[in-house]
A and B are shown apart, each in its own frame.
Chain A
């Protein structure tokens, strides 16, 4: 079972983090920083693989980007973050894609592969993801929603969100592979790599992304999307692998809704480019989705797909 820290340890850790930031140290170990674009001007690689064998498509997408060894060094501790919303079709990351990434990580020599979440075991069981983790020898690390399990993380570049509360366990990893399913969202119309990072942030902190009394004017949408982009400035995936095989384009994030079935797996290190491409799969432009646009403004990646070096193949 994950270790719970005491209030005293929690306060102590908070102080340590504050000191580290004050001293100019990053909260991320080197591996978590290494594969991200320093600016939107850098060339970006985006792999898009179509086909009905999703594990094979996943492996091919990673191969196009240079192979799993480029992202997972030997003996690395790998954290995976699939989306496990609920068992409704097209709302959770396909288990065969998760299986493929666990296998690839192990082939690369990862010392352990962990799936991190504060969602309940029921979500993991009903989606079939708990079974895949068990079959492939990955650890499913589920945490209570207790704030003591989350580490306060200042967001210096945050325009709206000034502090996140990230699962403490996350910082015990060398590599972070973000694995959402792309789909509709009734709030901001789109879910992808950037929004998926709310799965590492505490539910109480996520609640602040939404306005008090659940006000739903246009300002509320911008508030939510700015918070998502701000959160992304302190959480940098080593690699993003997105399930775009079969997903809902209405009634997101939980559905049920209309399904689109492009049968694609997308991989990339530039989350803004990845999200921009995924949005295009159902006729949206990256610039139209506020958090993608805000991510670009934060210089997290490239929103204009014409500036992205992309390779698309069909198996």
Chain B
């Protein structure tokens, strides 16, 4: 028994060590960093230990599928600080999801693999199973250049590429604000984007949201089959009717409609294995046209 325990402990320790080494290989060093110097040793948080790092805000990473994160600070001679976080997620989908969740709709796309965005004082980069976040202490030119330098150096060390989840391609591209696209793996991400209901009405497999130049947001929630999608649509209709947050409920040709507390029109419909939701559409005909364009 004790021999078995010993083996288990050995393999656990070896696994942790491998994981840490594995992430540390992605750390930029020396000339890759220009004037920035490593400040102290990197820290690695695996699994539940993420709760110790992100005090009170770790759930969203677990919802997408978190494995571990490496954290390293850099300083320059003036004492300015840049922080690097390399998140290893459970899959490329997970990494794309948390990347899409964290990026800013106002950010500037950067030409790095697979996708990267610089916003004000920080950079988010998605490549393979990794999300890389580089954060400057302010948005000055020197800091932004340092953020890009560190981001590029890490990106060059990550091997392999990945495609975005297929669901993302269902969003109609006309008028789509690319930087606004968010991919969800659970209720928390969706709730942060638009809190349709406080109860868990949708129970979806995966979902995507895009904002459009015309001023509306389109949500596509995927289910295992069309029957599940129709069941959830019926549930959404029931909740929309009874919720105090919505008023002026109506239904026509399989499309439900209501107005939220901020006066925005909300529309919903089931189509194949998807539940489609529109926030901010003009009227019924408008919503019908947008729903018809999904996946085309």
- Which residues in A have some Cβ–Cβ distance to B below 8 Å? 85-89, 119, 126, 185-187, 189, 195, 198, 203, 206-207, 210, 214, 216-222, 250-259, 285, 288, 290
Chain B residues lying within 8 Å of A285, measured Cβ to Cβ, are 261
Interface contact tally, CB-CB below 8 A:
103
Stretch at the interface among B1-9, B55-63, B87-95, B270-278: B55-63
Q: Given contacts A88-B83, A216-B187, are A254 and B137 in contact (CB under 8 A)?
A: no
CB closest chain-B residue, reference A258: B104
Asked if B195 and A87 sit within 8 Å, CB to CB, the answer is no
A186 to B187, CA, bound (A): 11
- Nearest A-chain residue to B133, judged by Cβ: A256
Q: A207-B51, A218-B197 are in contact. Are A250 and B104 (CB under 8 A)?
A: yes
The verdict on A218 contacting B198 (CB below 8 Å), with A187-B188, A198-B56 known, is yes
For B62, the chain A residues whose CB sits under 8 A away are: 214, 216
Q: Does B121 contact A (CB under 8 A)?
A: yes
Choice from A203, A222, A254 contacting B198 with Cβ under 8 Å: A222
Are A254 and B200 closer than 8 Å at their CB atoms?
no
A206-B56 in contact (CB<8A): yes
Nearest-neighbour CB distance to chain A for B68, whole angstroms, equals 15
Contact A189 B192 (CB under 8 A): yes
Contacts A/B (CB < 8 Å), 20 sampled: A85-B55, A87-B83, A88-B122, A89-B137, A186-B192, A187-B57, A187-B60, A218-B198, A218-B199, A218-B201, A219-B200, A221-B188, A221-B198, A251-B101, A253-B54, A254-B54, A254-B57, A258-B120, A288-B195, A290-B198
Across the interface, A216 reaches (CB within 8 A) one of B52, B63, B102, B135, namely B63
- Note all chain B residues with C-beta closer than 8 A to A206: 56
Task: Kindly state whether residue B119 has any CB partner on chain A within 8 Å.
Answer: yes
Complex Cα distance A119/B62, Å?
Answer: 22
The 8 closest A-B pairs by CB, nearest first: A256-B122, A214-B62, A216-B188, A218-B200, A217-B200, A186-B60, A216-B63, A253-B57
Given contacts A253-B55, A254-B57, 9 further A-B contacts (CB under 8 A): A88-B83, A119-B55, A186-B188, A198-B56, A210-B51, A216-B60, A218-B191, A218-B198, A254-B54
* B81 adjacent to chain A (CB < 8 Å): yes
- Cα A4 to Cα B119 in complex, Å, equals 45
Q: Which single member of B52, B59, B192 contacts A214 (CB below 8 Å)?
A: B59
**Shortest beta-carbon distance from A224 to chain B in Å:** 8
Q: How far is the CA of A307 from the CA of B135 in the complex (A)?
A: 41
